[in-house]
Amino acid sequence: MTSTEESLTRVRETAAEIVSGLRELLGTDDMLPRLDPVGFGSALRRAAFSLAGRPLPVARVTLDYCGGTGRAAVASVLRAAGVDVPGPAEVADDDRRYRDPAYASNAWFYLTRQQHALFAGYLRALFEHAEVDDRTRAKVDFALGQIIDATAPANFPMTNPTVLKRAFDTGGHSLLHGLRNMVRDLATNQGLPRQVTPGQFTVGRELAATPGKVVFRNRLIELIQYAAQTDTVHQVPMLFSPPWINKYYVMDLAPGKSLVEWAVKHGHTCFMISYRNPDESLRDVGMADYLREGPLAALEVIEEITGEPAANVVALCLGGTLATATAAWLAARRRPGVASLTLMNTLLDFEVPGQLGVFADPEAVANLSRLMRRDGYLPAQSMKATFDALRATDLVWNYVVNDWLLGADPAPFDLLTWNADSTRMPATMQTEYLRTCYLENQLAKGKMELAGERLDLSDVQQDAYVITAESDHIAPWRSVYTGARLLAGPQVPALVRRGRRPAGRRRGLAGRRGRTHGELVDRLDTLDRGARGPAGTPAGTGERRPSAARGRPGQLCARLSRRPPATAKRAPPMLPVDQPILPGHNEGYERATARRGCRTAGHRSLVGADGCAGRVHPRAAAPGEPVAA
């Protein structure tokens, strides 16, 4: 076959994939819920109907906007003539989208930025006059933010000087490369630009490289025990409880940025829960199943291996919510298991859930439940798209410019590699989580029941170290600390404040050893086993304690006092291999690894026959063999 024929074949295949995707989207009875499951369109429609009944405020705001656009045009003409006059709109000096000096020195680009700022102000001022309920208002505000982000001058070739310069310098090749990238992403990436280039990082090598073994497996989790790197270790082991919305290795990122690596090198016996990437067979799995087969099962195995009845639990995001629920469940049963809690970016009180609350109102949850009935899970791309929309400027439009307009490849970024490696969510669990936490706030109110127990956060007496980031858009720091006050034990709060760049959800806690992206205040170095507060501070007050010295979260146990425990002698059970291979993955590699009981996952979100989400390695590892070299 000639190169021309190969090119034509690839074009036909790409076109077929696009047509197939459109047919699947438009050929369903639930087309509108699939296109807009949250109901942004209906919210804007209700707001527009309200504005239609208020012509005077609409006319006044529109006249102000028209006057502003005229003044901006005059200012642009004067600046072209060499007269430095200010425009009618105030624009931020630190907006990275407009760092090209042409936006200030060139009259045309200056005008485009002024007009966009005026347009953004017009939309906000206009819809402020709409008389709608609070839920509709939140959706309208979010939708307007998306429209404003999408219409920024930097997102279009003729109003982005950097794009024009690049096209001129490359003789137009950058635009051709960008068009190629756009067609590729329309066909293979749900129409969104790539944030990472496949192959830049490999899970098990550049990411999740801390040596360890899988020592336990059930239908929902694998438990990894990390190899000791010190001659003696702390008495109390440490369990990492990651969220199952993404893969576990956000807590074992690149060497030098890995919290697990840091803890192991400082003498902690570390275990990590890695959750299975669910398929249709797990559609009926609920929160109680995640409790029993997740943290509770892991704590039992840890006690069997180490002989210790309790572990220090270091948890992140949804993993922190489940870890705290585990502590409450054990308290209700009067059983040990959790020695202390380190909660990072964890919501316990969902009364003020932040921007994610827009996606979790009754209408959105009902639509989502209907959509998940067919497959039995929420697709990984849906979760990722939701989180990307919360930071559309950085996570969507930034890559539209880079990939599609400049024709460049995304810069290597380990954290975004993890972010792109998304997971699915079981239908029953997802609906239950949204209903009980976001809609009804049952955990904070003491009304949540899991696995036969009503969970009361005031029963949690363990020491708690609570850390979050100032600009976290998913778990607002005030809501994090409001929930932490519901715990009865002594607490140490810590906040990553803004540095040169916002200390957001991902960057706020991921940094090289001894460094965060911003200022970490109220830090804690050690919290001795069994401590109940400094002198004069009674247990159960939930009061703040100052940090003793600089340190990182998770250093929560007694001094180095014992030899490292051996890893489990029993091999984890083999999972069945007769389940169907999920489409769109490397089936040959998955079947080979599945037959040997190994997990597959990683950068391309590979999912084996067992549906697990773990690490990729150069060769398949048998149960009990090291999962990282």
CA distance 222 to 244: 12
Residues 6+ away with beta carbon under 8 Å from 257 = 414, 510, 511, 512
CA distances from 349 to 12, 75, 287, 440 (A): 51, 50, 17, 10
Tokens representing residue 492 in the block: 């140490």
Tokens representing residue 397 in the block: 């439009």
Q: Which residue in the block uniquely carries the two structure tokens 């049963």?
A: 333
Residues 6+ away with beta carbon under 8 Å from 344 = 314, 315, 316, 317, 320, 467, 468, 509, 553
SS3 state of residue 520: strand
Are residues 225 and 213 in contact, defined by beta-carbon separation less than 8 angstroms? yes
Active site residue 317: yes
CA distance 53 to 85: 39
**Residues 317, 437, 598, 612: which is the catalytic one?**
317
Tokens representing residue 534 in the block: 């400094």
Residue 234 parent element (H or E): strand 233-234
CA distance 225 to 302: 9
CA distance 620 to 440: 44
Residues 6+ away with beta carbon under 8 Å from 94 = none
CA distances from 371 to 189, 192, 279, 376, 383 (A): 20, 21, 15, 9, 13
CA distance 314 to 295: 11
Are residues 594 and 577 in contact, defined by beta-carbon separation less than 8 angstroms? yes
CA distances from 521 to 3, 380, 469, 517 (A): 60, 35, 11, 12
Burial class (CB in 10 A: 0-12, 13-18, 19+), 563: exposed
Neighbours of 207 (CB within 10 A): 26
Extract the runs of DSSP E, i.e. beta strands, from 438-554.
449-450, 453-454, 463-469, 491-497, 519-521
User: Considering Cα of 457, then 475, then 279, then 30, what sign does the dihedral take?
Assistant: positive
Q: Which residues are the active-site residues?
A: 317
